[in-house]
Amino acid sequence: MVFKKIIALSLFVVLMGVTAACSSSESDDYAIATVNDEEIMASEYYESVDRMVENYERQGMDFSSEQGAMFLAQIEQQAYTMLIQQAVLYQAAESEGLIATDDEVEDEIDAIRSSFPSEEDFEEALEMNGFTMSRFREMLLLDLSIENYFNAHMDEIEVTMDDIFHLYQEYEVEYEAQGEEMPTFSEVQDQLEAQLRQEAKDAQVSVILNELMEESTIEDLREAA
């Protein structure tokens, strides 16, 4: 999850470290927004908020403090925005036949599974974090479909040696200002190239997403609820 993807959450990180909780039961679920007439449900929203909150609590954030309460409001808005963006992107992928296939999803599951010492460890991590395999597949389907859409619409990224060396010189100035010794160009060339490619990718993602958001009809139903 652009947005790994938008999602800004790597599904692997979610699985390993964030408990999936839900503050709204199916029986009292309701829509908090519509995206091109498709409903975004409260259960999805609270699940996202709870994941973010528990992740920050593990890092020591105290949400009972005044600062914590203010940060919670930011998290709630971030979760809402993320769900809207995911819906917009998934709909776009669906309209162009770019939804991930069962094979793509299974390959991703196998890749994640292989990162665990054993099948038992993988299943334990799923259970510990509140995921059924069905729910985990749904999340991967969303994530991979969005990735397919971006891949289909992004231009090839070109990074020249001049680009890399210019960035190196910028860092060199910063290091000198701090009285530190800059690594040699050959030592950091690969990292600098990767940074430039990521920045170019992020810029394209932003443009694509903004265009889709502008073309979409989005209704916020949170106050009505």
**CATH number, span 11-155+207-220:** 1.10.4030
C-alpha angle 165/171/175, rounded to 5°? 140
pLDDT lower than 50: segments of the chain: 1-25
pLDDT at 130: 64
pLDDT at 21: 37
pLDDT at 109: 94
Tell me the whole-structure pTM to 2 decimals. Answer: 0.80
pLDDT at 126: 83
Domain positions in the chain: 11-155+207-220
Residues 82/76, Cβ–Cβ less than 8 Å: no
182-201: per-residue pLDDT in tens?
A: 999 999 999 999 999 999 99
Q: Which helix (H) or strand (E) holds 39?
A: strand 38-41
Residues 214/164, Cβ–Cβ less than 8 Å: no
pLDDT at 202: 94
